Amino acid sequence: MDLGFLQFELDYYPVTIYQFMNVPLALMFYHLSITGHLPLAARYIFLMIGGILMAIVSMGPYAVLVLIPSIFSVIFIHSLEPRIVHKFTFLTQMGWQTLCHLWLHYKDYYLQEATDIKFIIALSSLMLLTQRVTSLALDVHEGESRIPARIMQKDGVGWNMLYCLLPHFSYMLYFPALLGGPLCPFQMFRIHVENLNRSGKKCIAKPLCVTAQSNQGPLQWDASKDILLIWITALMFRLAYYSQWLLSESLNNLVGLGLDTDRTGKATFSDADIWTLETTNKLSEFARTWNRTTAGWLRRMVFQRSKVQPLMSTFAFSAWWHGLHPGQIFGFILWAVTVKADHHVHRYVGSLTAGSRVLRMFYKVLTWMQTQLVTAYILVAVELRSPSGVLVLCKSVSSVCPLLYVLVLIGMSNKPNKN
């Protein structure tokens, strides 16, 4: 198997350079805030202007793809009634993002031209913006976040309107989250900005939610080695994801965001729970933990609101949000099927090993290996994206791992529940 096709995907993403460029800006913001040199309005402005400047530097002319929907989304949220604000902003934001993805498809598959990396960065940032826009709109729709009363005063209308709009504009464009997650709910963002002097001093040293542009040639797999090579390839992809997640989380922490923990002491504002991802023997737990804040966003946006096949609807929407490349459609639908099959395996087979410690250990090791191989297969399919990559994967011996779960789903899905 020739690993040359990985050169582009596994290059240190250019966005990482821009993230490091944000570090001095983040340190300056945090220092000025905790020393009292930045009043509240100035903090919001600092975060917003920093985001605008970084968008221009990293995206060039494509920055308008992010700036335009940021402006209109805030206007919609402040002008529409709460009962319709989520549906309207969701459709307009996803419509805009889909048009941008279709343009990428046109360049990739029809013109077969290399796409400007600045456009890729802009599209990645647009996907993250979609998370913030829809999350805030749903907060407003559900009453968790209240938009200040409409500006009705005759005096000082301009300043009052600016005061109302500023936190939301800042939330859409604040520079630590412009190029990478994790997704920060608006209420958490506002609380942290208003109370920076109470923040701790956590700093650890995301890829983006978008996959890198790939222009690989034909692939040839050695049947005797392709399982190991796919697993190694997926591991390289995961390491790239982990490093970018940790970098983005650190950048948010530098400005005083993301220091909350739950009852167990785990960070609630983090995408990278590497230990769980590498040790879990359950595909459903892997799905919930992978890119955790995005998984939570998908659960809230789709899974909890879908009345028909919520699991399949969630993964189908994830494929849409990622761009609907052939490999993504194949990978996310396969992920949904294997998660459902994995549930049946743990439910029916897991109970058979409960009485024996040795069998239980053997069962956990076996299902851990299956989880690792299935997720590796799916990750490679999603990252390759192209029809040729999907075709090669389907012909490889590695297809046996997810195929086993497909057969399990067919054979066990009609069994009655025992609960």
The amino acid at residue 165 is: L
Question: Is 322 a known active-site residue?
Answer: yes
Q: Which helix (H) or strand (E) holds 289?
A: helix 283-289
Catalytic residue among 86, 322, 325, 343: 322
Neighbours of 17 (CB within 10 A): 10
Catalytic residue among 168, 291, 325, 343: 291
Q: How many helices (H) and strands (E) does the chain have?
A: 17, 0
Smallest CA-to-CA distance from 26 within 196, 261, 198, 162 is with 196
What are the C-alpha distances in Å from 132 to residues 90, 178, 217? 11, 10, 36
Q: Which residues share a beta bridge with 261? A: 267
Q: Please state, in angstroms and rounded to a whole number, the distance separating the CA atoms of residues 391 and 401.
A: 16
8-state DSSP, 267: B
Task: Please give the backbone phi and psi of residue 373, each rounded to the nearest 5 degrees, phi first.
Answer: -70, -40
Overall size of the chain counted in residues: 419
Burial class (CB in 10 A: 0-12, 13-18, 19+), 310: middle
Smallest CA-to-CA distance from 58 within 170, 169, 188, 175 is with 175
Question: Is 195 a known active-site residue?
Answer: no
Catalytic machinery residues: 291, 322
